[in-house]
């Protein structure tokens, strides 16, 4: 054994992606079953496990708060007694205990909206605790060099953010931290926490040796980030023909024992922005809070906080339609946004295609066709989500033989980003795809990249790749123009050749050879990209599910799911379809089978055999239709 640590052996530091409320190892108090209390580094796994078995921990049991509504009641035990003292803790009402964050968003005259309503419907909905279900559990390695440089290999989706968080939390100069970018075996929002690297760092510091830490999957299910359970109460007013007059929501997310895993403690409560966001609602209010509970900490999972809200809203629309004797499609069509309408919260979007998207889904699914069997049914739901902007960097290099290398700071987490940027560079430079190689190195190689998350990689890092390729092309055009005896602005690029009027043209490879010769070596170009403003657009989706139900058992068989997406230009159909299919199956699992029950504070599903994810036999027929908008 080279090192053994408890919280008492460590400096009193608290870590977190944004809000710093989690100790590296629990100090005096464990706030959930799975809270790390001790760590050991040894020469072999067997020795480390034997050493762990010799550690004796004495616990005094404290009251368990598993329900977020109970945690908010006056007099509830405080899970964090000095929450306001944590760095980057957002302001919350002091009279409500155990709040991580709150958000109140409203627009219009709510009282007037309910006064106009012929009927007011109120329903509550709950969603469960679930894990992201990635195949690779958390893993990292840390080496502290003789000069004090800290080198880290981590399955983390945002290496530059990880570097900055560690520098801030552990008081290490940023320039002394080097994160080696790794391929990541799945993310879905769960691979940005500090559950593993700080522990590994302190073990490496104490032992004087490189240390590798790989979670067992049971540890990942017990202690790594999950999707927030939610309790959502909707109060919705409609007039006699089903037109919405007002919507009010009280949304309570169970945030778990720490807010540290979230990219921002307020990001989940912003899920309330998607409340009825594709409907015409003259008055709306979303009162949202995230609450500390004695369960595993939660984070974003395939959009932070939105699936829970959309599930509740779309479920209530079906209930209202049934109560009023209306068709579920008719009530939606009556209330959907038109081009030029503001969203319920007042946002202004261009190209509002939600009606066309729904119509495409209905047509492709055969919504009006007779049902195949007596106990079969069809359901519909809608969704809206924009793509965030941001900043990113890329470096591009051309060799004497015309081969191109693009350096990106985005880890490969599986959705096909590398293929897409390879295409972007290939098309921008007019060279065959096979001539372009995409690779990643470490946080020393580029100034900054936000990593993957929020479906923004193509929008930010893809733009950086395009900008780098375009600027390289401009540099090469100067060389080509000199060779052809013309001005760079007179050049065209056709079939991999630079051409000009009355000139034979010159191949890209020849231009690369000349440019590299002039330069005395390969030509490299670094670029920074930043989107200044969020684009005034969003995307819509509509899905139709066809299911059969066994009357005797209540068992549900999903037969077909049809998805319609209103998108920008699809750059790669294969990777796009992979993302759509993966999201559909993940959503089906969330609806029907995925759950991590908590009994007496303990998660009871500690293997992938118990935490049921959809397998190949569960997947129904999938159909996709796309509305591409430039």
Q: How confident is the model at residue 629 (pLDDT cuts 50, 70, 90)?
A: confident
Mean pLDDT of the chain: 95
- The string of DSSP codes covering 571-594 is S-HHHHHHHHHHHHHHHHHHHHT-
Which residue, 131, 132, 152, 125, is CA-closest to 141? 152
Mean pLDDT of 99-120: 97
Q: What local confidence, expressed as pLDDT, does residue 537 receive?
A: 86
The backbone torsions φ and ψ at residue 192, rounded to the nearest 5 degrees and listed phi first, read -135, 15
**Which of helix, strand or coil describes residue 88?**
coil
Tokens 């795809």 belong to which residue?
433
Q: How confident is the model at residue 501 (pLDDT cuts 50, 70, 90)?
A: confident
> Mind listing the domains of the chain with CATH numbers?
3-62+133-223 (3.30.365.10), 349-387+536-630 (3.30.365.10), 391-530 (3.30.365.10)
From CA 181, how far away is CA 244, in angstroms rounded? 49
Core vs surface per residue 556-582: b (16+ CB within 10 A) or e:
eebebbbbbbbbeeebbeebbeebbee
Radius of gyration (C-alpha) of the chain in whole angstroms: 27
The backbone torsions φ and ψ at residue 269, rounded to the nearest 5 degrees and listed phi first, read -65, -15
C-alpha triplet 521, 525, 531: angle, nearest 5°: 175
pTM metric for this prediction: 0.94
Q: Which region among 326-330, 499-503, 571-575 has the lowest average model confidence (pLDDT)? A: 499-503
Which residue, 600, 538, 591, is CA-closest to 565? 538
Contact 191, 580 (CB under 8 A): no
Residue 630 has pLDDT above 80, yes or no: no
From CA 123, how far away is CA 473, in angstroms rounded? 59
Q: How confident is the model at residue 303 (pLDDT cuts 50, 70, 90)?
A: confident
Q: What local confidence, expressed as pLDDT, does residue 373 receive?
A: 85
DSSP annotation of 78: P
Residue 99 has pLDDT above 80, yes or no: yes
Q: How confident is the model at residue 480 (pLDDT cuts 50, 70, 90)?
A: very high
Higher-pLDDT residue of 261, 270: 261
Q: What local confidence, expressed as pLDDT, does residue 453 receive?
A: 84
Residue 159 has pLDDT above 70, yes or no: yes
Residue 503 has pLDDT above 80, yes or no: no
Mean pLDDT of 244-253: 98
From CA 264, how far away is CA 556, in angstroms rounded? 37
Token output for 10: 């460590």
Helix 328-335, helix 306-324: angle, nearest 10: 110
Where is 507: in which H helix or E strand? strand 506-507
Which residue, 235, 256, 255, is CA-closest to 244? 235
The backbone torsions φ and ψ at residue 248, rounded to the nearest 5 degrees and listed phi first, read -130, 135
Q: How confident is the model at residue 54 (pLDDT cuts 50, 70, 90)?
A: very high
The tens digit of pLDDT for each residue in 404-451 reads: 999 999 999 988 999 999 999 999 999 999 999 999 999 999 998 888
The tens digit of pLDDT for each residue in 543-591 reads: 999 999 999 999 999 999 999 999 989 999 999 999 999 999 999 999 9
Interacting residues of 157 by C-beta distance below 8 A, sequence separation 6+: 184, 187, 191, 192, 411, 413, 451, 452, 453
Residue 534 has pLDDT above 70, yes or no: no
Token output for 528: 């920074």
Residue 535 has pLDDT above 70, yes or no: no
Tokens 């209330």 belong to which residue?
335
Q: What local confidence, expressed as pLDDT, does residue 162 receive?
A: 96
Q: What local confidence, expressed as pLDDT, does residue 532 receive?
A: 74
């Amino acid at each position: 054994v080279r090192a053994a640590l408890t919280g008492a052996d460590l400096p009193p530091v608290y870590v977190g992606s944004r809000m710093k409320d989690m100790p590296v190892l629990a100090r005096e108090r464990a706030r959930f079953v799975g809270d790390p209390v001790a760590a050991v580094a040894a020469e072999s796994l067997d020795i480390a496990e034997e050493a762990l078995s010799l550690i004796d921990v004495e616990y005094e049991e404290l009251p368990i708060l598993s329900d977020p509504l109970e945690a908010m009641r006056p007099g509830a035990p405080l899970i964090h007694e000095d929450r306001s003292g944590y760095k980057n803790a957002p302001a919350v009402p002091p009279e409500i205990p155990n709040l991580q964050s709150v958000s109140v968003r409203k627009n219009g005259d709510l009282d007037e909206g309910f006064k106009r309503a012929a009927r007011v419907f109120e329903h509550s909905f709950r969603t469960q605790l679930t894990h992201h279900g990635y195949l690779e559990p958390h893993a990292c390695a840390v080496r502290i060099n003789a000069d004090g440089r800290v080198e880290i290999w981590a399955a983390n989706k945002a290496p530059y953010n990880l570097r900055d968080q560690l520098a801030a939390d552990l008081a290490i100069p940023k320039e002394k931290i080097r994160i080696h970018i790794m391929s990541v075996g799945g993310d879905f929002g769960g691979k940005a926490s500090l559950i593993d690297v700080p522990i590994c760092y302190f073990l490496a510091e104490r032992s004087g040796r490189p240390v590798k830490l790989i979670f067992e999957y049971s540890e990942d299910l017990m202690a790594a980030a999950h999707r927030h359970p939610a309790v959502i109460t909707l109060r919705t007013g409609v007039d006699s023909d089903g037109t919405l007059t007002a919507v009010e929501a009280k949304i309570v997310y169970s945030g778990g024992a720490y807010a540290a895993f979230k990219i921002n403690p307020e990001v989940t409560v912003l899920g309330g922005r998607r409340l009825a966001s594709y409907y015409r609602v003259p008055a709306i209010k979303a009162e949202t809070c995230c609450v500390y509970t004695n369960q595993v900490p939660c984070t974003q999972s395939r959009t932070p906080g939105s699936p829970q809200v959309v599930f509740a809203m779309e479920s209530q629309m079906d209930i209202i339609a049934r109560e009023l004797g209306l068709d579920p499609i008719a009530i939606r069509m009556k209330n959907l946004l038109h081009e030029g309408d503001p969203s319920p919260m007042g946002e202004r979007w261009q190209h509002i295609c939600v009606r066309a998207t729904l119509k495409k889904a209905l047509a492709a699914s055969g919504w009006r066709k007779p049902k195949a069997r007596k106990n079969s049914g069809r359901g519909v739901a809608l969704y809206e989500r924009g793509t965030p902007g941001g900043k990113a960097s890329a470096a591009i290099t051309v060799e004497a033989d015309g081969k191109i290398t693009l350096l990106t700071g985005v880890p490969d987490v599986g959705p096909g980003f590398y293929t897409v940027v390879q295409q972007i560079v290939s098309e921008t430079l007019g060279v065959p795809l096979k001539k372009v190689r995409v690779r990643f190195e470490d946080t020393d190689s580029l100034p900054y990249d936000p990593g993957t998350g929020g479906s923004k990689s193509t929008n930010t890092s893809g733009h950086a790749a395009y900008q780098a390729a375009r600027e390289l092309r401009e540099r090469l055009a100067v060389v080509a123009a000199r060779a052809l005896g013309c001005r760079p602005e007179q050049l065209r690029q056709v079939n991999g050749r630079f051409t000009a009027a009355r000139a034979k043209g010159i191949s890209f490879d020849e231009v690369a050879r000349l440019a590299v010769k002039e330069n005395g070596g390969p030509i490299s170009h670094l670029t920074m990209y930043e989107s200044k403003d969020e684009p005034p657009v969003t995307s819509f989706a509509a899905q139709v599910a066809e299911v059969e139900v066994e009357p005797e058992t209540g068992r549900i068989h999903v037969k077909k799911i049809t998805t319609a997406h209103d998108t920008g230009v699809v750059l790669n159909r294969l990777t796009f379809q992979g993302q759509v299919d993966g999201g559909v199956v993940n959503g089906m699992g969330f609806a029907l089978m995925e759950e991590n029950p908590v009994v007496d504070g303990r998660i009871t599903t500690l293997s992938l055999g118990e935490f049921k994810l959809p397998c190949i036999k569960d997947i129904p027929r999938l159909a996709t239709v796309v509305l591409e908008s430039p």
